Amino acid sequence: MSFRIRVFLLMALVALAAIGGTVALTWWQARDQVSDAASASRETTELIQGRLREHALRNASWQGVDGTLRWLRQQTGQRIRLVDPFGEVVADTDHLDRRAARPPGSVAVFVDPLPELVLPDGGDRRAATVAAIGAYRSDTLLSVCLLGYGYDLVVVTGADGVPRHRPATDDPVAVDDCRPAPADDWLLADDREEAGRCGPAQDDCLREVFRRQVTAAEVAPHTLLLTIGAGDEPVRVLDTGPVLLITLLVALLATGAALLISRRVLRPIGTLTAAARRMGDGDREGRVPDDGRDELAELARAFNQMAESVRAAEDDQRRLIADVAHELRTPLGNLRGYLEALQDGVLEPTPELYASLHDEVILNQRIVGDLQELALAEAGALVYHRAPADLAELLETARTAHRAAAEAAGVSLDVDTCGPVMADADTDRIRQAVGNLISNALRATGPGGSITLRARTTGERAVVEVTDTGTGIAAEHLPLVFDRLWRADPARGRGTGGSGLGLAIVRQIVRDHDGDVSARSDVGAGTTFELWLPAISLLSLGASGLSTNRCTDQAAASTTTTVPDSSSQAGQPVQS
């Protein structure tokens, strides 16, 4: 499976998962809201049912229930309808609102107006049941009569759970007029017989006898059927159609966006892949568009930079091979010519001839050795033993090593320092670099000239200067002096030039010390090379009586051109 398809499927999966999660969350919330609405409907039903039961217990009848229905209608906003066991409508809020009665709603429950009998813990429970039946019959008849006369009633529930009614105002005449006659003996006998059928501890049986007897006397109000709502009202349900339609639309948009994004991402990657394949086939000139500011443009710029580096490395490799072949061709040709002349007897084997051949061999050996050392340095294979080193002492050692060569060339070799200059360096490798600079200076300086070695501290850098009064280097040649196998003398004669690798080795050694190297020169006035190395404070070494600032920053007194080896501190122009 291609990367494009994997990216597309991944993005589509993420989008669809997000959409599915959103739909599921919405669905659950809607379901919860529907459940909450159903719960609220149950609470409304229980409220209406409870208030109607309280009305029946308070009035011992359904008289005046219209007022209670109006109040419940205002509180709940529901259509309420009461129907007796014979199918007759007792009350309906549609009638109260003066509108045509609508079909009954789906919610239907019964409203039981009878009180719950409470039996005593001790004593004769059957006799208590018979007494409660008689008290309920008598009180019901009394309350109905009082309500007929327009009296407001006060309800007091007795210990047996049966309500007792009396007028709100103290009017004994009304109570006497409405007091019912004593119950017939046969009725009381029937009550006792029914209660006797239950055992003394059968509470449920006694409560059922109470309900049956008060209902059979046609004194208690009827149990009514309560319906809430109207049958023609629309039922609110969650419509899945719009949800599914929106889900499908969002899924299509997300999938399209994923396709566009995958194409936007993978098109530059495809261009990079094609360019990389062409580069693998040998095309080093292929580049990719790098316009833009995003990560893909940055990747394209990095690829172009890599391609340019590869091309430059191949050019350097070809140039190095050509330079090495050129360097070795002349001395090897000389050796071959002289050896063939000796073999043919054209030349006589004299000590001078052998010395000349020996010089050619030494030159070839030096070129090969310098190439090997430079290759090791550039590969990071040279081993360095860095430690605090006194550059002033190092320059004295270098002057001693090259004094004989300088005297033979008629050049004065001097050291100009004003105290210890400490640096973090490998003494042997830095002395090798300084030796290469002195050798180059000796070749460029004629008899009567001078070479001066200096060491100083500038900020956090220790600087070594090698200054000569030789022929100098032209400004157009200064950027090339640290290149491999470059020489100012194109003739490359044995007496005027070295291997052309000395300055490249110097640059690599100094870079491996986290330093830099630079050069400035005036044609006919001389050249100064500077090595910038990490300095070490004498105070940090415990030399409390010395200071790193005793040697000041001095430059050559001439109009010069500085050639930095990199963009670090050592690359700052040093004016003479």
For residue 529, the surrounding DSSP H or E stretch is strand 526-534
Q: Is the pLDDT of residue 331 over 80?
A: no
Report angle CA 109, 115, 118 to the nearest 5 degrees. Answer: 130
CATH for 384-571, options being 1.10.15.40, 3.40.50.2300, 2.40.50.140, 3.30.565.10: 3.30.565.10
Q: Are 504 and 482 in contact (CB under 8 A)?
A: yes
Q: pLDDT over 90 for what percent of the chain?
A: 16
Lowest-pLDDT range, 210-219, 224-233, 256-265, 555-564? Answer: 555-564
At residue 547, the pLDDT reads: 43
- As a whole number, mean pLDDT of residues 531-549 equals 67
Q: What top-level class would CATH report for the domain 285-382?
A: mainly alpha
Question: Using CA of residue 370, residue 372, residue 373, residue 377, what is the dihedral sign?
Answer: positive
Question: Residue 350: pLDDT above 50?
Answer: yes
Q: Is residue 313 over pLDDT 60?
A: yes
Burial class, 347, CB count within 10 angstroms (exposed 0-12 / middle 13-18 / buried 19+): middle
For residues 342 and 356, give the distance between their C-alpha atoms in angstroms, rounded to a whole number.
Answer: 13
Find, among 23, 17, 14, the residue nearest to 244 by Cα: 23
User: 544: Cβ–Cβ under 8 A, 6 or more apart, which residues?
Assistant: none
Report pTM: 0.44
Q: Helix 427-444 crosses helix 502-512 at what angle (to 10 degrees)?
A: 150
Least confident of 227-231, 398-402, 554-558: 554-558
Q: Token pair of 179, please?
A: 């007091």
Cβ atoms of 531 and 517 within 8 Å: the answer is yes
Per-residue pLDDT tens digits for 408-434: 999 999 999 888 999 999 998 899 899
Torsion sign over Cα 132, 133, 138, 139: positive
Q: How far is CA 76 from CA 47, 66, 406, 538, in A?
A: 9, 15, 118, 95
**Rounded Cα gap, residues 437 and 440, in angstroms:** 5
How far CA 363 is from CA of 360, 484, 490, in Å, comes to: 5, 16, 16
Q: How far apart are CA 403 and CA 140, in angstroms?
A: 142
* Position 22 pLDDT exceeds 50: yes
Domain ranges, ordered by start, for the chain: 1-109+224-283, 125-220, 285-382, 384-571
